[in-house]
Structure 1
Amino acid sequence: MARAIERIERDIATLKEAIRAIAVELQTAYASYLATLGLAVRKQLILASYHLCTQGYPENFLHLSLNQRQQLQQAIRSLGQLTAEQLLTYIKSEEAVGDEGDVGDEGDEQNSSLSPLSPDTSNPIELAKWQQNLEEVTQEILKKISHDANLLLQKAGVLPKKLPEPILAAAAAAASEASAEVMPGPPNLLNLVIEIENEQQSEDSGLTQIMAINLRLGEIEFADVTLSSERRQIRSILVQLNKLGREYQKKHREMAIAEAEAAWRASWFED
Structure 2
Amino acid sequence: MARAIEIIEKEIQDLETQVKLLAEKLQKADSNYLECLALGVRQQLIMTAYYVCTQVYPEFFLKLSFSQTEQLQKHLKKIVIELQSQLLSLSQNSISALELKDPRELISWQKSLESNISNSLEIVSGEANLIIQKAGIFPPNVPSSLIEAASQIDRSSEAIASSPNLINIMVQNPEIPENGAPIITSVQAIQLRLADIEFNNSQIMSARHQIRHLLSQLSNLLREYQQIQGERLIVEAENAWRRSWFDE
* TM more than 0.5: yes
Q: 2:170 aligns with which of 187, 194, 199?
A: 194
Q: Residue 260 in 1 paired to residue 237 in 2?
A: yes
State the Cα distance separating 1:195 from its structure 2 match. Answer: 4.4
Which residue of 1 is the match for residue 81 of structure 2?
A: 81
TM-score (norm 1): 0.83
TM-score (norm 2): 0.91
Letter in 2 for 1:247: E
**Secondary structure in 2 aligned to 1:85?**
helix
Query: Cα deviations across residues 120-151 of structure 1 (Å, max 9, x unaligned)?
Result: 41110110100111111111111111110000
Q: 1:149 aligns with which of 128, 136, 160?
A: 128
Q: 2:20–2:100: 8 Å Cα contact kept in structure 1? A: yes
State the Cα distance separating 1:2 from its structure 2 match. Answer: 10
Gaps of 5+ in 2: none
Q: 1:38–1:87: 8 Å Cα contact kept in structure 2? A: yes
1:15-30 paired onto structure 2 within 5 Å:
15-30=15-30
Which residue of 1 is the match for residue 61 of structure 2?
A: 61
CA–CA distance in structure 2, aligned partners of residues 2 and 226 of structure 1: 50
Which residue of 2 is the match for residue 114 of structure 1?
A: none
Letter in 1 for 2:29: A
Q: Percent identity?
A: 40
**Secondary structure in 2 aligned to 1:210?**
strand
State the Cα distance separating 1:7 from its structure 2 match. Answer: 0.4
Which residue of 1 is the match for residue 48 of structure 2?
A: 48
**Secondary structure in 1 aligned to 2:137?**
coil
1:1-271 paired onto structure 2 within 5 Å:
4-93=4-93, 120-171=99-150, 173=153, 175-177=155-157, 180-185=158-163, 187-190=164-167, 192=168, 194-196=170-172, 198=174, 201-203=175-177, 205-271=182-248
CA–CA distance in structure 2, aligned partners of residues 219 and 266 of structure 1: 60
Q: 2:24–2:97: 8 Å Cα contact kept in structure 1? A: no
Size of the alignment, in residue pairs? 244
CA–CA distance in structure 2, aligned partners of residues 193 and 82 of structure 1: 27
Q: 2:31–2:91: 8 Å Cα contact kept in structure 1? A: yes
**Secondary structure in 1 aligned to 2:91?**
coil
CA–CA distance in structure 1, aligned partners of residues 169 and 208 of structure 2: 33
